[in-house]
Amino acid sequence: MKFKAFIIAIIVVLGLSGKGYPNPAENTPSAAGNQPALREIVLCPTKNQTARELYNKGLELTGKGDFESAMKAYSRAIELDANYCDAMDNLGQLLRSQGKFEEAVYWYKRSIGVLPGNHVAHLNLAVAYRYQGKKDDAISEYRILLKMNPDDPEVYYGLGTVYLASGELNVASEQFKKAEQLYLKLNSPLVADAHYELGVIYYQMKDYGKSIEYLAGSLPAKQDDPGVHYALGLCYLAEGKDLNQARKYLKRAEELGAKIPPEVLRKAGL
């Protein structure tokens, strides 16, 4: 799952005791925090050859998983060219992947200061604010992005995650449906992410039929995603019509690395 990807969906399952089961996203391994996206699109090219070489080195090191060395390469590139916003954006990505949100925000803002129309920095800044729980700041950035490109599905997806996190399910579903339609127009596989989030929303609304429909729709692209299998298992469990399906998905989620709470397993008869 991509960065936007690593966004945490809140799924609450009410058991027989009235206590909520844990969010499946909190019990499944995620690559979101460990696999920063490589930014190779050049928005503000440098004339400094050494800075460019360091930038390329940063890309290479990031691809190898050596994030510390990559950050040093990007930092050195910026020292050589104080306006090298491409290096700033990638440095921010790496910092964000390590949970260093304040530092990431600093570099995104500095990048925007160099190139105000830098949609990459604005999008990353919105995501960083979202992770910090700064709802209004995140929405403000997404609105700026909508003015730049009102047909960007990433923006609607991001807005959906913000509203979902704050429990505004109807508004969130509207945003994810806009993202879904735009992803479909682009024939983008990322439509599976929108389907997953819509499944989460309908689950919270206790419309289990629609939830299963959307979650199952995301499954072909997410066969190895434990979170999707876990969510489907919880959904079938809550619906109570087909425990065999619930068991099947919960077992698969465990096989993929999900840590299923004992109370969930007991209710499923596992």
- DSSP labels, 106-173: HHHHHHHHH-TT-HHHHHHHHHHHHHHT-HHHHHHHHHHHHHH-TT-HHHHHHHHHHHHHTT-HHHHH
Give the model's confidence band at 48: pLDDT under 50 very low, under 70 low, under 90 confident, else very high. Answer: very high
* 189 inside domain: yes
* 224 inside domain: yes
Task: Collapse the DSSP code of 97 into the 3-class scheme (helix H, G, I; strand E, B; otherwise coil) and give the result.
Answer: helix
Domain residues for 199? 4-31+156-268
Q: CATH number of the domain at 237, please.
A: 1.25.40.10
- As a residue count, the chain comes to 270
How is residue 172 written in tokens? 């969130």
pLDDT at 141 over 60: yes
pLDDT at 150 over 80: yes
pLDDT at 35 over 90: no
Angle between helices 208-218 and 226-239 in degrees, nearest 10: 160
Over residues 102-129, the mean pLDDT reads: 95
Q: Which DSSP helix (H) or strand (E) runs through 20?
A: strand 20-21
pLDDT digits (tens, 9 = 90+) for 182-237: 999 999 999 999 999 999 999 999 999 999 999 999 999 999 999 999 999 999 99
CA distance 106 to 204: 35
* 119 inside domain: no
- pTM for this model (two decimals): 0.79
CA distance 199 to 68: 37
Task: Collapse the DSSP code of 186 into the 3-class scheme (helix H, G, I; strand E, B; otherwise coil) and give the result.
Answer: coil
Q: Is the dihedral of CA 201, 207, 208, 214 positive or negative?
A: negative
Question: Would you give the DSSP letter of residue 254?
Answer: H
* 183 inside domain: yes
- The structural domain count of the chain equals 1
Residue bearing the bigger pLDDT, 219 or 18:
219
Number of continuous H segments (helices) and E segments (strands) in the chain: 13, 2
* 100 inside domain: no
Share of the chain above pLDDT 90, in %: 75
pLDDT of 45: 84
CA 181 centroid distance within chain: 18
Q: Which DSSP helix (H) or strand (E) runs through 21?
A: strand 20-21
pLDDT of 17: 23
Q: What is the mean pLDDT of the chain?
A: 84
Task: Collapse the DSSP code of 13 into the 3-class scheme (helix H, G, I; strand E, B; otherwise coil) and give the result.
Answer: strand
* 163 inside domain: yes
CA distance 6 to 28: 11
CA distance 71 to 197: 32
Query: What is the C-alpha radius of gyration for the chain, rounded to an integer number of angstroms?
Result: 20
Give the model's confidence band at 15: pLDDT under 50 very low, under 70 low, under 90 confident, else very high. Answer: very low
Give the model's confidence band at 265: pLDDT under 50 very low, under 70 low, under 90 confident, else very high. Answer: confident
* 110 inside domain: no
* 179 inside domain: yes
Cα–Cα distances (Å) from 263 to 187, 230, 249, 267, in that order, read 40, 14, 16, 6
